[in-house]
Amino acid sequence: MFFSVENIINITKGELWAGKLEGRFETAIIDSREACSGALFFPLEGEKDDGHNFIVDALERGAAGSLIAREWLDRFKDKCIPKKKNIIIVDNVLDALHKLALNHRNRFSIPVVAVTGSNGKTTTKDLIAAVLSSSFCVLKTEGNYNNHLGLPLTLLKLNETHQIMVLELGMRGAGEIAQLTSLCRPTVGVITNIGEAHLEMLGTKENIACAKGELLKGMEAGGKAILNGDDPHLRTLGDYFRGKVCYYGFQKSLDLQALDCYLEQEGYSFNAVLPDGCIKKFWIPRPGKHNVYNALAAIAVGITAHLEPGIIEQGLASANFSKMRTENIWLDNNCCIINDAYNANPTSMKYALGVLEEWNNKFTKIAVLGDMLELGSAAEEGHLEVGRFLAGLNIDYLITVGEKALAIARGALEKGFPAERVFKVENCENVMPVLESINLSEAYLLVKGSRGMEMESVVEELIGKYN
């Protein structure tokens, strides 16, 4: 990123309140603790506090300047602003951030791959970036920077060395994907699936499909859509897309079809029938048949980028993944934690339980499952559904965490899961005493729940005790 003070004023229609027009900025921050030389601070309103309360802190820590919303001016007239710092008045700080991000994105004519979906979008983004990184300099979404704040910050990191971008688009409600799409202007759109995430906000899977489909509506006709062809909602969306569509999945007659999937070396191998009819073997360093879908999307993007199958194969095999997504952590007591604590809904819960079941049957298998949030009126049935599904698997113990997760236990018991192997606790702090009553040596331990449950605290406690 490079913007002069004059650029900022022109793009945001702002006014210089302090400093000089000759100033320049080289990076954007929204956290005053990340302040550094050349940084422009965006004081955004948060859930607990407003960034305007940290403007002086950001400047004292070294930021070159800050925006300030016009409505905050009166409260800053008596504040001591460090010398030689630039303060620019704007009507709305978030709107200014979006204008600057779009302006910066428009400086570059490079391919942009945007990934969304109810499940698997982060893993898919990581796999796509791994495939493309074998041949291109890639800028990708890091961490959870997939929303109206994180995506523009990612766009502002774009520079002349980057040849392609891989961006994750998240949402909570209708209209959000459309907004993000308008900012990043993708040339390739990937939708992984339509699941139960966001039912509380959107009500039905059809509404979720419409919200995710905003990605395709916002793309230009020359773009390409890469869609899960096994998902009927995505087949419907694809029918209305103006550009080219590539469908992937397990069904015959799709553009890219997976065959012969199996667990191998703590990862997953599969054969894929490529669009030219050739069959190629691939391996990904993550277990779970559901991750084959994510890998197929990455293969499709690689083919779109004109990469040879061998190059795509190497990229998939060398992929690095974001934390807390079916992440295997081995403890010194020969227990393997499957850390999938980042988030949860009924579909992703069943995917993760399938991963747990696939592992070595000589090991004890333990599922620690927390509440699934944001399911609205579908919450009770969704938790029961997970419990019934678990009861049909080769799993030895179930520990539920939270009030909603009690229905997981109830569903498992209804289907005959042994009552003496079901434990119900109120919160994460109460999980460890239960685990200490089970022999964790030679055990696989799945930890999963919604983001608000902070299930990673269980993982951290286990690591602290046994490593």
Query: Mind listing the pLDDT tens digit for each residue in 288-319?
Result: 889 999 999 999 999 999 999 999 999 999 99
Structure confidence at residue 143 as a pLDDT band (50, 70, 90): confident
pLDDT at 1 over 80: no
Structure confidence at residue 47 as a pLDDT band (50, 70, 90): confident
The CATH number of the structural domain formed by 327-466 is 3.90.190.20
Among candidate residues 149, 184, 182, 150, the one with its CA nearest the CA of residue 166: 184
Structure confidence at residue 196 as a pLDDT band (50, 70, 90): confident
Rounded to two decimals, the pTM is: 0.92
Q: Note the pLDDT tens digit of each residue in 408-420.
A: 999 999 999 999 9
Distance from C-alpha of 88 to C-alpha of 6, rounded to nearest angstrom: 10
Structure confidence at residue 13 as a pLDDT band (50, 70, 90): very high
Q: Note the pLDDT tens digit of each residue in 349-388.
A: 999 999 999 887 889 999 999 999 999 999 999 999 999 9
pLDDT at 434 over 80: yes
The confidence score (pLDDT) of residue 111 equals: 97
Centre a 10 Å sphere on the Cβ of residue 10 and count the other Cβ atoms it contains.
Answer: 12
Mean pLDDT on 427-445: 95
The confidence score (pLDDT) of residue 23 equals: 83
Structure confidence at residue 74 as a pLDDT band (50, 70, 90): confident
Distance from C-alpha of 434 to C-alpha of 432, rounded to nearest angstrom: 5
Instruction: Decide: residue 372, CB within 10 A, 0-12 exposed, 13-18 middle, 19+ buried.
Output: buried
The confidence score (pLDDT) of residue 266 equals: 82
pLDDT at 21 over 90: no
Q: Which of 77-86, 155-164, 325-334, 416-425 has the lowest mean pLDDT?
A: 77-86
Mean pLDDT on 42-49: 90
The confidence score (pLDDT) of residue 76 equals: 83
Q: Which residue has the higher pLDDT, 455 or 79?
A: 455
pLDDT at 402 over 80: yes
pLDDT at 79 over 80: no
Strand-pair category, 256-264 with 267-273:
antiparallel
**CATH fold for domain 3-92:** 3.40.1390
The confidence score (pLDDT) of residue 251 equals: 96
What sign has the CA pseudo-torsion 297, 302, 305, 306?
negative
Q: Which of 79-83, 145-149, 236-240, 242-246 has the lowest mean pLDDT?
A: 79-83
Among candidate residues 82, 96, 76, the one with its CA nearest the CA of residue 19: 82
3-class SS string, 8-21: HHHHHCCEEEECCC
Centre a 10 Å sphere on the Cβ of residue 396 and count the other Cβ atoms it contains.
Answer: 15
Q: Which residue has the higher pLDDT, 128 or 18?
A: 128
The confidence score (pLDDT) of residue 172 equals: 85
Among candidate residues 347, 373, 378, 343, the one with its CA nearest the CA of residue 203: 378
Domain boundaries, the chain: 3-92, 108-317, 327-466
Q: CA 115 from chain center: how many Å?
A: 9
Taking CA atoms, 315 is separated from 9, 308, 455, in Å, by 42, 11, 31
Kindly write down the DSSP assignment for every residue of 103-129, as one continuous string: HHHTT----EEEEE-SSSHHHHHHHHH
What sign has the CA pseudo-torsion 393, 192, 144, 149?
negative
Among candidate residues 434, 373, 374, the one with its CA nearest the CA of residue 400: 434
Q: Note the pLDDT tens digit of each residue in 158-169.
A: 999 999 999 999
Q: Which of 170-179, 257-266, 396-405 has the lowest mean pLDDT?
A: 257-266
What is 108-317's CATH superfamily? Mur-like, catalytic domain (3.40.1190.10)
How is the beta sheet containing 256-264 ordered, strand by strand?
138-140, 164-168, 112-116, 188-191, 224-228, 244-249, 256-264, 267-273, 279-284
Mean pLDDT on 32-50: 93
- Answer whether 206's CB lies under 8 Å from 116's CB: no
| C-alpha gyration radius of the chain | 24
3 state SS of 277: coil
How close are the terminal C-alpha atoms of the chain, in Å? 42
Residue % of the chain over a pLDDT of 70: 100
Structure confidence at residue 265 as a pLDDT band (50, 70, 90): confident
Among candidate residues 102, 143, 108, 109, the one with its CA nearest the CA of residue 125: 143
Distance from C-alpha of 230 to C-alpha of 235, rounded to nearest angstrom: 8
Structure confidence at residue 141 as a pLDDT band (50, 70, 90): very high
